[in-house]
């Protein structure tokens, strides 16, 4: 594994070395988190089931007792085609 395999790679490039890739090591540091261990979530606002005007979910199996917030997500999230 290398730094480019880490979820924090872009942040490290900016914060730790001002975008100079030569400064990054070729092996993981103590903060290394492998990208393969994470799944990208689709937040409500970007989901194809999101009903924007009412801030609600249109998926038949999703029941929320309150209005959705744009920062929430669920296991049924699917990215919109647009």
Query: Tens digits of per-residue pLDDT, 16-72?
Result: 766 556 556 665 677 788 888 888 888 888 889 888 777 788 888 877 655 666 678
What token pair was written down for 54? 């009412």
pLDDT for 23 equals 57
Structural domain span for residue 9:
3-37
Residue 73 confidence class, pLDDT cut points 50, 70, 90: confident
Distance CA 69, CA 47 (A): 12
pLDDT for 68 equals 61
Residue 47 Cα distances to 19, 22, 38, 44, 65, angstroms: 32, 38, 19, 5, 19
- Say which residue, 9 or 19, is predicted with more confidence: 9
Give the number of domains in the chain.
2
Residues 44 and 10 occupy one common structural domain: no
Q: Is the pTM of this model over 0.85?
A: no
Residues 47 and 76 occupy one common structural domain: yes
Residues 44 and 74 occupy one common structural domain: yes
């Amino acid at each position: 594994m290398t730094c480019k395999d880490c979820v924090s790679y872009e942040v490290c490039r900016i914060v730790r070395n001002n975008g100079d890739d030569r400064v990054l090591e070729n092996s993981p540091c103590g903060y290394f988190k492998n990208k393969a261990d994470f799944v990208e979530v689709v937040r409500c606002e970007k989901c194809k089931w999101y009903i924007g005007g009412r801030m609600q979910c249109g998926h038949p199996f999703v029941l929320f007792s309150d209005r959705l917030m744009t920062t929430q997500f669920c296991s049924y999230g699917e990215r919109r085609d647009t």
